[in-house]
Amino acid sequence: MPPKRKAATAAKAGGKKAKEETPKPKDAFTTAKEALLAAGSQAKGKRKVDSHCQLSATGEVYEDYDCMLNQTNIGHNNNKFYVIQVVQSGKSYYSWNRWGRVGEVGQSKLNSFSKPEDAVKDFEKKFKDKTKNNWSDRSNFVSHAGKYTLIEVDGEEDAEVKVDSVDGKTIKVTKTVQPCTLDSATGSLIELIFSNDMFKEAMECMNLDIKKMPLGKLSKVQIAKGFDVLEEIEAAMNRKAKSGLLEELSSKFYTIIPHNFGRNRPPTINDKEIVEQKKEMLMVLADIELAQTLKTETEKAQEEMVETVPHPLDQDYNSLKCVLTLLDKNTETFKVIEKYLKATSENGYYKPKIINVWEVDREKEGQRFREHDSLENRRLLWHGTNIAVVAAILKSGLRIMPHSGGRVGRGIYFASENSKSAGYVRCSKNTGVMFLNEVALGKEHTITRDNSSLKKAPSGSDSVVARGSVEPDPSKDIFITLEGKSVAVPQGKPIQQPQFSDSYFSNSEYLIYKESQCRMRFLLELQMH
């Protein structure tokens, strides 16, 4: 497993192009950032009235007069927000303002107007006072020192009652929701990996302010801006910039990506480990955004002008384009997996217990994997992850880790010991998810020291193994057949490897640098103790 990030939406910023020079090749960070920006121009839905406003139940946001502002200044221990809206309720119009420390309700003020243009004028004046920008020019928003910054969030479409008309009269369409076709275990899994409460829990664990980023609705553009600032921080650290600049850039990052630190002073981002953690956080946000997009598609499908609609869990499941087949616990395959888990987790911090196992068949992944039919040396290896990104992984597969900060470079990390991968599992109420993957290792290149510069296997090799001082007893390996290919599955307990006793790695880490060299075979739902 990777020291920081295993599978996530790619993202790392490249350097600026110098005059008349050949453009540098785009790395994964740049490519993903551009993808975020390209996808960020989607139409915004109708906004909702701030839930703390007394008109939230009866009013609606007038036109598009709604904004969320944020300002963080570490030096002055500022970490504050400002909400401004124009609200229409009946024939009356209001300007609503709420402000305070991030994570708190704060103070508020509601001004009443008889004409909408007066409420708009009040809104625009407040926006100009707080940001030094004109509302009409917000598409070219410029951040100013000591002022608030506009936070871009994707709007939420209000649920509409779908209607039909007969002889000019509007009638409500009664929908019949079909029974769920999924078995109970699979239905529960789908409910879990699309759960709003789970997404909220994951975001709160990262100190993110979920009131400003409701359920992954922070816009793709805003996430890309966050990556930009992390690139600035990284560049400043590389040239050993003064602490004042790092404090300023950290304030800029927290302004763009609102964090809830309570009354504590926001910490300065001043070392590479924190930068990697923040990259991880943004990648989780991007994957939550993907899962939320899938869920929105399900909700829209439910609103179509049809009388009979599939069950929402079936819709969510189908959006993954992935077949999950529940394994019978009496099968030989289940018993092999269970033994693999128990043998390689005994010495770890966690003692995971299997709840359920599914066979995984992602659409087109098998076809892609067949590109490596000529590669031998196949192993079934572990990959642990944050439960908040499981839906995105099932939809998009395991993706190349986007930053070069990993101990073995930029690749997809696997482990032969469950205890190693378990350290990267992030649970929801003690329930976690791990994947078992068939990995076509081919010719291995063995290392025993860190090499974070690796972006591909050395010439003549197909994979890299950071060989640990312990390894599941090789003499206990068994071989199973998957689609005609022999695949090794460890079954023994980890034992000392004398020839690697001086390795910098305690447990072996297996790296591939081509996404097509792995295929997800099994998903394990685990109780993590």
d(CA 447, CA 508) in angstroms, rounded, equals 10
Encode pLDDT of 334-368 as tens digits.
Answer: 999 999 999 999 888 888 999 999 999 999 999 99
Selected residue with higher pLDDT from 122 and 44: 122
pLDDT of residue 401: 58
Confidence grade of residue 58 (pLDDT, cut at 50, 70, 90)? very high
- Answer with the one of 151, 174, 189 that is the final residue of a domain: 151
- For the CA atoms of 229, 232, 234, 237, the dihedral, rounded to the nearest 10 degrees, stands at -130
Instruction: Give the three-state DSSP class for 43.
Output: coil
- Distance separating the N- and C-terminal Cα atoms of the chain: 20
Q: What is the DSSP letter of 433?
A: E
d(CA 403, CA 279) in angstroms, rounded, equals 8
Tell me what the mean pLDDT of segment 187-205 comes to.
Answer: 94
pLDDT of residue 295: 85
264: in domain = no
State the DSSP H helix or E strand holding residue 334, giving kind and residue range, or none if neither: helix 332-345
Tally of structural domains, the chain: 2
User: Is the pLDDT score of 525 beyond 90?
Assistant: yes
The number of beta carbons lying within 10 Å of the beta carbon of residue 88 is: 19
269: in domain = no
User: Is the pLDDT score of 286 beyond 50?
Assistant: yes
User: Is the pLDDT score of 389 beyond 70?
Assistant: yes
- Answer with the one of 128, 151, 174 that is the final residue of a domain: 151
Q: What is the CATH number of the domain that holds 104?
A: 2.20.140.10
Confidence grade of residue 106 (pLDDT, cut at 50, 70, 90)? very high
Q: What is the DSSP letter of 266?
A: P
Residue 306 backbone dihedrals phi, psi, to 5 degrees = -135, 155
Residue 167 backbone dihedrals phi, psi, to 5 degrees = 55, 40
pLDDT of residue 42: 40
User: Is the pLDDT score of 114 beyond 80?
Assistant: yes
Tell me what the mean pLDDT of segment 268-294 comes to.
Answer: 90
395: in domain = yes
Residue with tokens 């996430």: 223
Mean pLDDT, the chain, rounded, equals: 86
pLDDT of residue 305: 64
User: Is the pLDDT score of 153 beyond 80?
Assistant: no
State the DSSP H helix or E strand holding residue 197, giving kind and residue range, or none if neither: helix 196-205
411: in domain = yes
User: Is the pLDDT score of 169 beyond 50?
Assistant: no
Residue with tokens 């066979």: 359
Helices (H), 3-93: 28-39
The number of beta carbons lying within 10 Å of the beta carbon of residue 406 is: 23
pLDDT of residue 222: 84
Domain region containing 450: 321-527
Residue 19 backbone dihedrals phi, psi, to 5 degrees = -60, 130
> Among residues 164, 165, 166, 134, which one has the least CA distance to residue 150?
134
Q: What is the CATH number of the domain that holds 510?
A: 3.90.228.10
In this structure, the strands spanning 444-447 and 463-466 are parallel
Please, are residues 6 and 278 in contact by the beta-carbon 8 Å criterion?
no
218: in domain = no
30: in domain = no
d(CA 460, CA 39) in angstroms, rounded, equals 38
d(CA 481, CA 499) in angstroms, rounded, equals 30
Encode pLDDT of 458-512 as tens digits.
Answer: 999 999 999 999 999 999 999 999 999 999 999 999 999 999 999 999 999 999 9
Confidence grade of residue 221 (pLDDT, cut at 50, 70, 90)? confident
pLDDT of residue 162: 36
User: Is the pLDDT score of 164 beyond 70?
Assistant: no
DSSP per residue over 98-143, as a string? EEEETTS--EEEEEEESSHHHHHHHHHHHHHHHHSS-GGGGGG---
pLDDT of residue 4: 40
Taking CA atoms, 278 is separated from 227, 283, 383, 454, in Å, by: 9, 9, 21, 22
Please, are residues 150 and 83 in contact by the beta-carbon 8 Å criterion?
no
Q: Which residues are catalytic?
A: 509
Selected residue with higher pLDDT from 410 and 516: 516
- Answer with the one of 151, 181, 196 that is the final residue of a domain: 151
d(CA 295, CA 216) in angstroms, rounded, equals 11
pLDDT of residue 154: 64
In this structure, the strands spanning 509-512 and 463-466 are antiparallel
Please, are residues 474 and 491 in contact by the beta-carbon 8 Å criterion?
no
Tell me what the mean pLDDT of segment 189-202 comes to.
Answer: 94
Instruction: Give the three-state DSSP class for 386.
Output: strand
Which pair of structure tokens corresponds to residue 149? 């910054």
Confidence grade of residue 155 (pLDDT, cut at 50, 70, 90)? low
d(CA 61, CA 497) in angstroms, rounded, equals 66
Out of 26-30, 72-76, 373-377, pick the least confident: 26-30
User: Is the pLDDT score of 45 beyond 80?
Assistant: no
d(CA 259, CA 267) in angstroms, rounded, equals 11
Residue 465 backbone dihedrals phi, psi, to 5 degrees = -120, 115
pLDDT of residue 309: 86
167: in domain = no
Confidence grade of residue 403 (pLDDT, cut at 50, 70, 90)? low
pLDDT of residue 299: 76
Instruction: Give the three-state DSSP class for 366.
Output: helix
pLDDT of residue 14: 37
455: in domain = yes
Instruction: Give the three-state DSSP class for 24.
Output: coil
Q: Is the dihedral of CA 248, 241, 228, 396 positive or negative?
A: negative
